[in-house]
Amino acid sequence: MDLRTVLVVGTGLIGTSAALALRKRGVRVLLADRDQGAARLARELGAGEEWEASGHERADLAIIAVPPAHVATELLALQRHDAARFYTDVASVKAEPLHRAAQLGCDLATYVASHPLAGREKSGPGAARNDLFLGRPWALCPTDEAEPEARAAVLRLIELCGANPVEVSATDHDRAVAVVSHAPHVAASAVAARLADATDVALGLAGQGVRDVTRIAGSDPSLWLGILSGNASPVAEVLEAVATDLADAASALRALADGDGTATSEITQLLKRGVVGHDRIPGKHGGPASSYAVVQVVIGDRPGQLARLFQVCDEVGVNVEDVRLEHAPGLPLGIAELFVQPDAAATLTEALHQRGWQVP
Ligand SMILES: NC(=O)C1=CN([C@@H]2O[C@H](COP(=O)(O)OP(=O)(O)OC[C@H]3O[C@@H](n4cnc5c(N)ncnc54)[C@H](O)[C@@H]3O)[C@@H](O)[C@H]2O)C=CC1
Ligand SMILES: O=C(O)C(=O)Cc1ccc(O)cc1
């Protein structure tokens, strides 16, 4: 299925990221947003041209990238306008918008709902990236009514964005993302909320762990209220299980503090179950989780340090699979953690030593 022209409705983080990825692959992209400033900024970022300026040209595919509660009404309006041959959306919940679309009388033959499992804690076109979806799962939920060509159009979109298609029913999708995305988001918010009145001493001691666990808590609350409301029961079910684990851990720690040494086994069990769950998360390209070796390097807080570090990796032919920066508050240096294949760690460490880098 050839996608020559794609209309993106909702030029925020996800819509503009898809538009940028499509532009990179030579697809003509038309942009629309009820906030004209968002559509203009997306155009200025090179994501395409404004739909209005094109005289509302008909597209091969329209991507509806608006908050979940607006997906069905937007689909209906676009279909009434005959805006595109086929339609998809990218909302984080699938069953409710689909149900609403059916209720409103949308044409379900030309519509295949979808959801890229990639995002950021920032909103708006300014946060968009053309590589946001690379190697990420992208769910699609064709109904029995959907035309095969509509499904093919969405598969082509996913391919052009460099993502991996995962076909799943809307209900199974919602149950799955409750576990891997929506409940983790609420848990991150609950942990981050403890920091709202934490002392300056506590915040000054914050390391990478708390940043990792709370990163997504920085997301737009109104978007997330919409996501959680649209998937309320499955998310509540996961949160109830998490709450039980947390309550059990707290009582075990109370017992421990009161001198009951046997309580350690309950805590150990939870920590061990956590390791099992963590190890089951697939790696960055959707394959099995790989255990990279970590090379730690001390870097000065000066311009160009990271570029020089990557240049050494390039010189010795070591691929950096991931990178993490650990800042030391108040100090003019930090630690860069380079994640590399285990058999490349010694070569890189040696090369860095030779060039005068401090590798602890
Ligand atoms: N933020 C994330 O990390 C992810 C979000 N999603 C889903 O993508 C969709 C968009 O989210 P973001 O791009 O993050 O939000 P965003 O806030 O960055 O962008 C949403 C855009 O939609 C526009 N909009 C809202 N209602 C509209 C309407 N009725 N017609 C036209 N434009 C409208 C807003 O003006 C805004 O520019 C949501 O359904 C969300 O669930 C999916 C994957 C990841
Ligand atoms: O920021 C991240 O790492 C995310 O995973 C964001 C995200 C948010 C909402 C989604 O529906 C999918 C992904």
104-118 pLDDT tens trace: 999 999 999 999 999
Q: Specify the length of the chain in residues.
A: 360
Tell me, in angstroms, the distance from the centre of ligand 1 to residue 34's CA.
11
Specify the pLDDT at position 283: 77
With a pLDDT cut of 90, the percent of the chain lying above it is: 82
- Mean pLDDT over 312-319 rounds to 91
Specify the pLDDT at position 297: 87
At 288, the pLDDT band (50, 70, 90 cuts) reads very low
**In the predicted structure, residue 45 carries a pLDDT above the cut 70:** yes
- For the sheet containing 28-32, what is the strand order? 49-50, 28-32, 5-9, 59-64, 84-89
Tell me, in angstroms, the distance from the centre of ligand 2 to residue 166's CA.
16
Specify the pLDDT at position 324: 79
Q: What does the domain layout of the chain look like in residue ranges?
A: 5-168, 174-279, 293-354
Which CATH code fits 174-279? 1.10.3660.10
User: Which alpha helices (H) appear in the chain, and where do they start and end?
Assistant: 13-24, 36-44, 71-80, 95-104, 148-160, 170-177, 183-193, 200-204, 208-214, 221-230, 232-257, 264-279, 305-315, 345-354
**In the predicted structure, residue 73 carries a pLDDT above the cut 60:** yes
**In the predicted structure, residue 292 carries a pLDDT above the cut 80:** no
Out of 77-86, 171-180, 218-227, 325-334, which region has the weakest mean confidence (pLDDT)?
325-334
- Mean pLDDT over 164-180 rounds to 98
Task: Name the CATH topology of 293-354.
Answer: Alpha-Beta Plaits (3.30.70)
Specify the pLDDT at position 287: 47
Tell me, in angstroms, the distance from the centre of ligand 1 to residue 16's CA.
10
Specify the pLDDT at position 327: 67
Q: Greater confidence, 217 or 314?
A: 217
- Mean pLDDT over 281-302 rounds to 72
Name the closest-CA residue to atom 7, ligand 1: 91
Q: Greater confidence, 253 or 296?
A: 253
At 323, the pLDDT band (50, 70, 90 cuts) reads confident
Look up the CATH architecture of domain 5-168: 3-Layer(aba) Sandwich (3.40)
**In the predicted structure, residue 122 carries a pLDDT above the cut 90:** yes
Q: Which of 261, 58, 93, 111 is nearest to 182 (CA)?
A: 93
Name the closest-CA residue to atom 23, ligand 1: 10
Tell me, in angstroms, the distance from the centre of ligand 1 to residue 355's CA.
47
Burial of 260 (0-12, 13-18, 19+ CB in 10 A): exposed
Out of 82-86, 246-250, 311-315, which region has the weakest mean confidence (pLDDT)?
311-315
C-alpha to C-alpha distances, 339 to 15, 217, 295, nearest whole angstrom: 31, 25, 7
Give the residue, out of 174, 216, 225, with the most ligand 2 atoms within 8 A of its beta carbon, to mutate for a pocket test: 216
- Mean pLDDT over 277-296 rounds to 74
**In the predicted structure, residue 21 carries a pLDDT above the cut 70:** yes
With a pLDDT cut of 70, the percent of the chain lying above it is: 96
d(CA 29, CA 139): 22
Tokens standing for 272? 């061990």
Specify the pLDDT at position 94: 98
117 lines ligand 2 (CB under 6 A): yes
Atom of ligand 2 at shortest range from CA of 216: 1
At 158, the pLDDT band (50, 70, 90 cuts) reads very high
pTM here? 0.85
